Structures are given as structure tokens and as C-alpha cells.
Structure 1
Amino acid sequence: MIRAMIITVASLLLISALITLPSIARVHAQGESVGLTEPMVVKTDKGSLYVEVRFWSEPEPNKDVKMQIRFLQPDQSRIQLHVDYAVAIEDANGNKVFEQPVTHSTPGIEELPVRFPAEGPYTITVKVSGILFIPIPEEQAVFSIRVVPEFPVPVTLIILASTIGIISMLSRYMKMK
């Protein structure tokens, strides 16, 4: 009976450690993830172009992060140059936490510093009002993201080390019986 309980506890600890291990896989350089996140690509509601949004690291509550916006031509193979655009980010209650008024992107790729004040869902709206210096009826691309705190790597390592220690002690205990 006790042996079964010990094996169950050890198994649960091992499973919880393995679930949290992916957070170790993030590559960090002085506290920031290296490289861009996976792109989110959405066609504008009127179809003139695609908008791609990525971050330089996983967004976390109350931490600055650079958001990259790329404007893609309808075939998605080339960057669309000279785009007039605006960006707004809203939390789940509709409160604006970031706003970039209409501005012109010459290269079709922009990076904006943003900060999400808390964990939870956010909506990013990119509005396009001109292409190649020609005004167009406003179009928009809407993205949904969820900001979550990063599980600290040291905590993951402590859980992993504890699990290994418990399993080691259990195996010794079982050999003694």
C-alpha cells in the first residue's frame, strides 16, 4: 500500500516536472528570448493585403517587448511598401493599453515597443488607410493574443532536481525492503 502511494507521488512529481520543462527550452540572453515568435498572419477585412504580427520575445505582463508588423502583398510573397496604418491594443474590457496613430511605413516593416499591463487576453487591431500614397477606405486586421507570465526557469530546475532526488530515495528505500 505504502509502496503504491510512493510510486504514485513520484510519478506525479515526474509528470509535473516534464510538463514544465518546455520553459527551459527557451533561449535567453540577458533575460530576453532571442529571435522572433511565430508569425500571426491575417488578411485585412477588405482583402487589399495581409498583415503579419510577431514579437521579439514572448509578451509577459509589465515587460516591454518589441512588436514587429509586416505588410504583405496579397500573394504574401513580397513586402508591401508605403502603407499608412494605425495600431491599437485593447484588453478584455475594451480598454486601450497601446495606441499608435496613423503613420506611414516606407519599408513595410515596423517595430513598435509595447507593454501589456497584466496577464490575460488582448486584441491587436491594425488599420490600413493608404497604400503607395493612395488613400483607401479603411481596412483592418485583428489579432487575438493571451499574455501569460513566464514560468521561471530556476523554479523548473528545482522541481526537476527534487523529482530526481525523490525517485532516487524511493529506489534506495525499495531495495532495502
Structure 2
Amino acid sequence: MSFLRAIVLPMVFAAAVGISLAAAVPSTASGTISSLSPCSAIISAPLLPSQYYGIEMVTTRRVPGTGRAVGTGMVNFARSPFGVAVSPSGSYVYDLSLSIDRIKAPRRGAYTAWAVAPDLQDVVRLGVIEEGQVASARVTWNKFLVVLTLEPSTEPTARWLGPVVMRGMSRSSMMHTLAGHGPFENETCLKYGFK
């Protein structure tokens, strides 16, 4: 019963308050900002990505032309009329976008961006990406990795086939890197490009 009181009841209360506030917003014929209520102005405000949640991409230096590459993944909470979107399982829904710079075009194949759960079982393909372009997708994991690979073609596949060119971790994944712990206690984080 304590779980019900501590977790479920506050969530139900918050949802009920959100629904009642959304229902109380009057519709406007003119659609001008001055005719909107404070609640509707908050809902329509743009959600800008936070630098804090940015993902620093680190090159593996295993593919020619990628040694000087830099990349940034931006994580943004997905839009919702209730402020933040959640999945049916209760996880936050994130809009993830990735951009890379200072990378040479491959002789063959295409650079493809992926988001993957920490256990490497679930994979989401962000898409083919070139220097200066942005690839994006929606993810529902609290912790995830971002991987850039060199794929043999631009055809979509369920998992990557080529070598990993760059990789990065979501902010929440950084709290639990295995480097320096358990069977990896002799490994340093710096060896893998993480500080």
C-alpha cells in the first residue's frame, strides 16, 4: 500500500490536475497571444535543448578520415500538453538529434547514426548523416548510447553492420560506466575517451 500512496496516487492527482487545467483553457477565435490564458502560453512555449543534457561524441579513430571528427547529440524532452511526454511504461520520451563536423566523406558506404539501450538489445536508427547535417529520432530509454557507424550502404537495417566511428553516452548513463569497476577495475575511463 505504501508504494500505491507514494508513487501512484501523486501521479493520478497530477494527471487529474493537468486534465482539468487543459479543459479550463478557453478556445480563442482570433488566436492572438493576447487572447490566450497563461496556461496555454506555457504549453505553446518552445522546448529548447539543454547544454547539460548534451552528448559529447568521441571518435574511435578506427576509420580513416574520422580522427579529427567532433559530434554533439542534443537531447530534448518531447512535447506534450502536460509539459513532458512519457511512454506507456512511464519513461520520459526524448527527441534526440545528432550532428557531426570535421569528418571526411567515406570512400564507400555511409555514416549512420544509432541510439541503443545500454544492454545493446534495443536499437533505434536515427538515419544517414553527413558533415553539417542533423539526424534525429525519438527514444524512450532513461539511459542510452549514441553510436555513429560506417555502413556498407544507405539501406535501412535493424542493427549496424559496419565499424563504430564515434560513440557517446546520455547524461544518465555516465553515472554507471563500468570502467574502473568489477571485472574492468584495471581499465580507466580515459582509455575509452571519457573523462
Q: Shared topology, TM-score over 0.5?
A: no
- Which structure has the bigger radius of gyration? 1
**More RCO (CA 8 Å, sep 6+):** 1
TM-score in terms of structure 2 length: 0.39
Task: Give the number of the structure whose residues are more often strand, by fraction.
Answer: 1
TM-score in terms of structure 1 length: 0.42
